[in-house]
């Protein structure tokens, strides 16, 4: 039987493979801004999923996730007021570079896999200091009170189950649906 750590790391690897092989390979960068059936674009979903997962890594580790891109993400996110956490695509999403944002989510998934490979799984019931991390990350409590409320007093296992795995997986499914609605399904 597979142990929990192997299962978690394999799940992240599977998401990264599905992102590459089922979305990015079939949807060229110039079409990733298109919205289908009133939903969000692939670019938005890439950025949004990366923002939530990167912020969850910050909360779990107590330090920022630095993706090592040419874009200084912390300065850029500050200029959009901590944005990217909203479910609905924001008007400024047109500024997002489709290739850079795909790289951001890929690196966030890589970091998630590294974190899960090394995390003390016997401490999944420990409640991290969400308020300090969100405050340092510039996540305004008035604008994003729903996130503060959702994440406050949650154990580390919640952050693994939801922002790192479930939330990214949900938006990956949305990206696959958008790919299909754009007529780019390989099947």
CA distance 130 to 44: 25
> Given this model, what pLDDT does residue 92 score?
83
> Given this model, what pLDDT does residue 83 score?
80
Domain-embedded: residue 162: yes
Q: How far is CA 186 from CA 24, 68, 128, 179, in A?
A: 12, 32, 42, 9
How many structural domains are present in the chain?
Answer: 1
Domain-embedded: residue 187: no
For the stretch 78-101, pLDDT in tens is: 556 668 899 999 988 888 899 999
CA distance 33 to 90: 12
Domain-embedded: residue 76: yes
Domain-embedded: residue 177: yes
Entry pTM: 0.93
> Given this model, what pLDDT does residue 59 score?
96
For residue 51, what is the domain's CATH number? 1.20.120.450
What secondary structure letter does DSSP report for 144? T
Give residue 46's domain range.
Answer: 4-181
pLDDT band at 149 (very low <50, low <70, confident <90, very high): very high
Between 70 and 109, the more confident residue is 109
Domain-embedded: residue 16: yes
């Amino acid at each position: 039987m597979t142990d929990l750590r192997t299962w978690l790391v394999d799940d992240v690897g599977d998401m990264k493979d599905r992102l590459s092989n089922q979305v990015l390979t079939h949807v060229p960068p110039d079409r990733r801004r298109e919205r289908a059936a009133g939903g969000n674009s692939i670019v938005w979903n890439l950025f949004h999923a990366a923002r939530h997962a990167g912020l969850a890594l910050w909360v779990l580790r107590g330090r920022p996730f630095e993706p090592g891109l040419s874009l200084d993400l912390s300065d850029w996110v500050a200029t959009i007021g901590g944005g990217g956490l909203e479910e609905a695509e924001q008007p400024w999403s047109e500024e997002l570079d489709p290739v850079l944002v795909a790289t951001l989510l890929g690196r966030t998934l890589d970091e998630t896999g590294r974190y899960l490979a090394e995390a003390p799984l016997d401490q999944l019931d420990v409640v991290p200091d969400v308020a300090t991390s969100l405050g340092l990350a510039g996540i305004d409590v008035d604008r994003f009170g729903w996130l503060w409320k959702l994440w406050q007093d949650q154990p580390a296992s919640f952050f693994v189950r939801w922002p790192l795995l479930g939330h990214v997986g949900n938006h990956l499914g949305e990206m696959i649906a958008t790919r299909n609605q754009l007529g780019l399904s390989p099947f």
